[in-house]
Structure 1
Amino acid sequence: MTAQPQTLQRPARTDKGADLRPKRRITGPGVMRAYTWLIILWLILPIFVMILFGFNDTSGRYNQSWEGFTLKWYGRLFDIDDLTRGLITSLVVAVVSSLAAGALGTGIGYALGRYRFRGSGSVNLIMFATISSPELVMGASLLTFFVSLGVGLGVVTLTIAHIMFSISFVATVVRARVMTLDRSIEEAAADLGATAWTTFWKITFPIILPAVFSGVLLAFALSIDDFVVSNFTAGNAVTFPLWIWGATRVGIPPQVNVMGTLIFVAGVVIAVAFNIRSRRAQRD
């Protein structure tokens, strides 16, 4: 008998309209980039409006409708004495509180990220409770604390309050960086004869310095725009946000927008400069 040659049969299609080509997905890099830029534009829209109304050629105190372009408010930036004093108070309190919170928060963050000691869990709990607690609770508790001690409210109590709620933010940022630190670098310095103090200042601190600087900038930003805690603890002292809140009853002058624009630009310039410096240091 002769073997019959086998013929290859094409499998029958179960669905006449079925398309075996892979379907194009809706999600992709382009969609994610568009979504990211949409969120960024949404976040910077209020800042853009603030910058725009700093150039508004308004004739009265109310700065709510666009009346034309002018640069005169940059020349009259310090014409309102109470507003200028409020800005100076906010800047002084923000600088002092951010530096103090940076020093204290760096030590706490380094200890929590490096060592395991009795009570570290409680410290972590208190730190995150401070961050998550409403500002209303923080302000009321600090007011009760100062009143019970018989301390007069003013710039000093305002600065202490800002230091207290800023420490946790600095400590959290520094702790996260310390936990990812390569211990072999410090061990190599110890093998070469460096003491613990020398190793910290020569090796560890330069590595965690970007995190420390980020924490200090965060503390500065939180302090300079704080209203709730400042309203409880400022007493007769008037800060930049407190002055704006009081001015809303009669109208916000264009100088407020100009000052806010300058503060925003200064923060962006400092952040970009430090980012460029950090990248160059990593390359070297």
Structure 2
Amino acid sequence: MMARDPIRLWLNAHLGLVYVFLYVPILVLIALSFNKSGLPTAWTGFSTEWYGKLVANPKILSAAGNSLIVAVASTIISTVIGTLLAMGLEEGRSNPWLDALVAAPMIIPDIVLAIALLSFYTLLNMSLGLHSIVLSHAVFNIAFVCMVVRTRLKNFDRSIVEASIDLGASELTTFRRVTLPVIAPGVVAAALLSFTLSIDEFIIAYFTAGAGQGSTTFPMQIYAMIRFGVTPEINAIATIVIGFSFFLVLLSQRLNREAAP
């Protein structure tokens, strides 16, 4: 027992250093977003004026609206397709090659997927805009939705489905009134994860957006602003994105735990 204490102490110290490395820069960024000074690092007092300037900036508001449109639309598409795909895979015989194919969008580097999608749209002679970003994000998110829903389906009691059919319910009624309510927490968790990924995603959106402010998403607007230097206004934007993303991921994880038997 005594021999294990130094090892446990070392592991705890290592864990603490990892947390410091990951989160101290984020905490510094959040603190500087309330900096009264226009300088990015010199602290001169507490102020919320940079958050007020964000609200008064039409380009930021437009980009935020575009991101919400893209995130909501892509989440609906990917949740529906990903849930049905998960059910189909769980109903069929296990195939590692098929599982690898479904998971490919999660493994392929974002820039490779972005170039592939752009090439595909060009081949189809398809115009670029918010609609192309929505489709691209849906392709990216389907795999994540499928994996989350499959986790719930692996512990699904299929005897209740058989009982429903034996009692005369159709397959559609059984799905709507039996299967879907049982897997609903997992589906909602997958949808929240999909929404979070879409809100934060930059590379795929950058390649498939086309030109113009009308298809500029929130991360793209931040990138355009940061090229001229880091300001407290950008720190304020980053703080809002971090807080929103953290809340959605936390909610998704909670729903996923509640979905587990």
Q: For 1:32 and 1:93, how far apart are their aligned partners in 2?
A: 42
Paired residue type of 2:22 = L
Larger radius of gyration: 1
Q: Which runs of 5+ in 1 are unaligned?
A: 1-21
Question: Match of 2:210, as an amino acid?
Answer: G
CA RMSD of aligned residues (A): 3.0
In structure 2, relative to structure 1, the CA distance for the partners of 1:191 and 1:273 (3 Å cut) is same
Residue in structure 2 matching 1:50, options 24, 29, 34: 29
Q: Is 1:256 paired with 2:242? A: no
Please identify, of 40-49 and 213-222, the stretch whose mean Cα deviation from structure 2 is larger: 40-49
Q: Secondary structure of the residue that 2:37 maps to in structure 1?
A: coil
Is residue 125 from structure 1 mapped to residue 100 from structure 2 by the alignment? yes
The structure-2 alpha-carbon separation of the partners of 1:281 and 1:28, relative to structure 1 and needing over 3 Å to count, comes to same
Q: Does residue 1:107 correspond to 2:84, yes or no?
A: yes
Is structure 2 residue 145 aligned with structure 1 residue 173? no
Structure 2: segments with no counterpart, 5+ residues: none
Alignment match of 1:155 (pick from 130, 139, 142): 130
1:198 to 167, 173, 176: 173
Shift of 1:278: 8.1
Q: Which residue of 1 aligns with 2:222?
A: 244
TM normalised by structure 2 equals: 0.83
Give, in whole Å, the separation in 2 of the partners of 1:68 and 1:125: 53
Distance in 2 of aligned mates of 1:37 and 1:99: 39
Aligned to 2:74: 97
> Structure 2: how far apart are the matches of 1:27 and 1:144?
55
- Per the TM alignment, residue 252 of structure 1 is displaced from its structure 2 partner at its CA by 3.4
How big is the shift at 1:49? Answer: 2.6
Deviation at 1:163, TM superposition (A): 1.0
* Structure 1 or 2: more helix by fraction: 2
For 1:281 and 1:238, locate their aligned partners in 2 and report how far apart those are by CA, in whole Å. Answer: 36
Quick check: 234-243 or 274-283, which moved more? 274-283
Which residue among 224, 232, 238 is the counterpart of 2:199? 224
* Distance in structure 2 (CA, Å) of the matches to 1:66 and 1:156: 42
Query: TM-score, with normalisation over the residues of structure 1?
Result: 0.77
Question: Aligned-pair distance for 1:261?
Answer: 2.7
Which shifted more, 269-278 or 67-76? 269-278
